[in-house]
């Protein structure tokens, strides 16, 4: 088992990573529980796939069936309505301030359960058990919790850190390849932002993730948690530096809507990162040789990024709309080289379009 400590102003907590560590973690959970009652919020799909180990875990912790709430994880259910159901359930069952919430699921479940914990009785402790690769490498780290509102993603939320994050990697065996790709998109992002070594490692080992090679997965989760937690420790509330973690995401969001959500989030993020590399080259931050070198990492996964022909007027409209929503403050994170990102860069619309066109060609070329 690997353990990394995340230190923030709000809390200091361990992230434990390993295969078949869930039952092993019971003593640790008991030690941080301090005789609190427990309430578990569990992704419904996950619970169907991993019911046996969950039941054994809950039994050891003396968590009864009616102290487990199943949650159907969709963006639509990442809502105030779901929060109401959680608060109601907690209140009706007499859960008080001496409660600890356990969250089992991907980023949707973790964000909702974390916000419920942040707000129920002005905040009760919670432990996050991410069950998707994306949740393990990204959403479970850093304390952003919240729900969507009025069709705006994560409009209502809070920064609230868990007591611990436990990454049981055997949970990933049931993830479809496209969900693994979602997590990988973020790992590739960390590699470009922080580490040439990680980038080279990915180049060699990326297929090992799809083949569920656990040492590879664990190494990637560990490095991601390390990099993300370092940034979060420096800028917990995203006043500046933490913005670099948005690398590739502005383009990805516009693309997801332009493609009417037919492209998966992970594939869109990978597209967004490549587009950023083309933009960085187009404005002279990196040279053509360096660009080709950086693109090598995508060779083995580019066929997983399936696109319909991009409608550029719509795409640009969506980007600009986003810009308007942020009062003209949409700025890009670009790269001068690996581990040398710059943020808050204004990019000319024609440069964006040219680069996105090159990116489209790149993914369509066989």
Ligand X SMILES: NC(=O)c1ccc[n+]([C@@H]2O[C@H](COP(=O)([O-])OP(=O)(O)OC[C@H]3O[C@@H](n4cnc5c(N)ncnc54)[C@H](O)[C@@H]3O)[C@@H](O)[C@H]2O)c1
Site residues, ligand X (CB under 6 A): 43, 45-46, 49, 73, 75, 78, 105-109, 111, 131-132, 134-135, 138-139, 142, 144, 153-154, 171, 174-175, 179, 182
**Cβ-contact 169, 221 below 8 angstroms:** yes
Choice among 16, 50, 78, 228 that is catalytic: 228
Residue 6 Cβ, how far from ligand X at the closest point, in Å? 13
- Helices 196-210 and 214-234 cross at an angle (nearest 10°) of 140
Give yes or no: 253 in active site: yes
Q: Is 242 a catalytic residue?
A: yes
DSSP three-state, residue 331: coil
From the candidates 3, 44, 203, 238, which is the catalytic residue? Answer: 238
CB of 146 to ligand X, least distance (A): 7
Q: Which is nearer to ligand X, 109 or 161 (CB)?
A: 109
CB of 340 to ligand X, least distance (A): 23
If the CB atoms of residues 253 and 302 are measured against ligand X, the closer one turns out to be 253
Q: Residue 78 CB, nearest distance to ligand X (Å)?
A: 6
Residue 246 is among the residues annotated as catalytic for this protein: yes
| Of 1 and 155, CB closest to ligand X | 155
Structural contact between residues 144 and 110, judged by C-beta atoms closer than 8 angstroms: no
Name which of 140 and 259 has its Cβ closer to ligand X: 140
Q: Which is nearer to ligand X, 108 or 335 (CB)?
A: 108
Which of 11, 246, 300, 354 is the catalytic position? Answer: 246
Which of these is catalytic: 50, 78, 144, 189? 144
**265 is annotated as an active-site residue:** yes
Packing angle between helix 177-194 and helix 196-210, nearest 10 degrees? 170
Torsion of CA 243, 244, 247, 251, to 10 degrees: 30
Cα 153 to chain centroid, rounded: 14
For 137-140, the CB contacts below 8 A with 24+ separation are 137/183, 137/186, 137/187, 137/190, 137/220, 137/221, 137/224, 137/225, 137/228, 138/107, 138/183, 138/186, 138/224, 138/228, 139/106, 139/107, 139/110, 139/111, 140/15, 140/107, 140/110, 140/165, 140/167
- Find out whether 8 and 143 touch, Cβ atoms under 8 Å: yes
- The residue number with the shortest CB distance to ligand X is 107
Given the residues 265, 282, 302, 304, the one annotated as active site: 265
Q: Considering the complex, what minimum distance in angstroms separates the CB of residue 204 from ligand X?
A: 25
186 is catalytic: yes
Cβ-contact 101, 163 below 8 angstroms: no
Residue 238 annotated among the catalytic residues of the structure: yes
Q: Which residues are catalytic?
A: 122, 144, 186, 228, 238, 242, 246, 249, 253, 265
């Amino acid at each position: 088992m690997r353990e990394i400590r995340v230190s923030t102003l709000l809390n200091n907590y361990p992230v434990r990573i390993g295969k078949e560590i869930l039952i092993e973690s019971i003593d640790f959970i008991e030690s941080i529980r301090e005789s609190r009652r427990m309430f578990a919020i569990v992704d419904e799909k996950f619970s169907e796939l991993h019911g046996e180990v969950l039941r054994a875990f809950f039994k050891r912790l003396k968590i009864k069936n009616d102290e487990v709430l199943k949650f159907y994880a969709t963006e639509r259910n990442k809502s105030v309505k779901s929060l109401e159901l959680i608060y109601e359930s907690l209140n009706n069952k007499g859960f008080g301030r001496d409660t600890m919430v356990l969250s089992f699921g991907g980023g949707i479940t973790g964000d909702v359960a974390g916000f419920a914990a942040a707000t129920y009785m002005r905040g009760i402790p919670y432990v996050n058990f991410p069950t998707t690769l994306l949740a393990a490498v990204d959403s479970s780290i850093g304390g952003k919790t919240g729900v969507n509102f009025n069709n705006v993603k994560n409009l209502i939320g809070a920064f609230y850190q868990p007591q611990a994050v436990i990454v049981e990697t055997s949970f990933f065996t049931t993830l479809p390849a496209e969900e693994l790709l979602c997590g990988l998109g973020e790992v590739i992002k960390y590699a470009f932002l922080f580490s040439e070594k990680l980038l080279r490692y990915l180049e060699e080992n990326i297929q090992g993730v799809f083949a569920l090679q656990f040492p590879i997965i664990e190494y990637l989760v560990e490095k991601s948690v390390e990099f993300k937690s370092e940034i979060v420790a420096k800028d917990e509330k995203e006043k500046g530096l933490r913005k670099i973690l948005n690398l590739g995401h502005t383009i990805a969001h516009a693309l997801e809507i332009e493609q009417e959500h037919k492209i998966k989030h992970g594939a869109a993020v990978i597209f967004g990162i490549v587009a950023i590399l083309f933009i960085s080259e187009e404005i002279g931050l990196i040279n053509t040789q360096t660009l080709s070198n950086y693109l090598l990492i995508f060779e083995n996964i580019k066929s997983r990024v399936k696109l319909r022909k991009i409608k550029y007027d719509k795409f640009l409209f969506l980007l600009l709309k986003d810009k308007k929503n942020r009062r003209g403050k949409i700025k890009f994170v670009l790269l001068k080289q690996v581990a040398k990102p710059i943020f808050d860069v204004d990019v000319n619309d024609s440069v964006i379009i040219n680069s996105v066109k090159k990116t489209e060609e790149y993914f369509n070329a066989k």
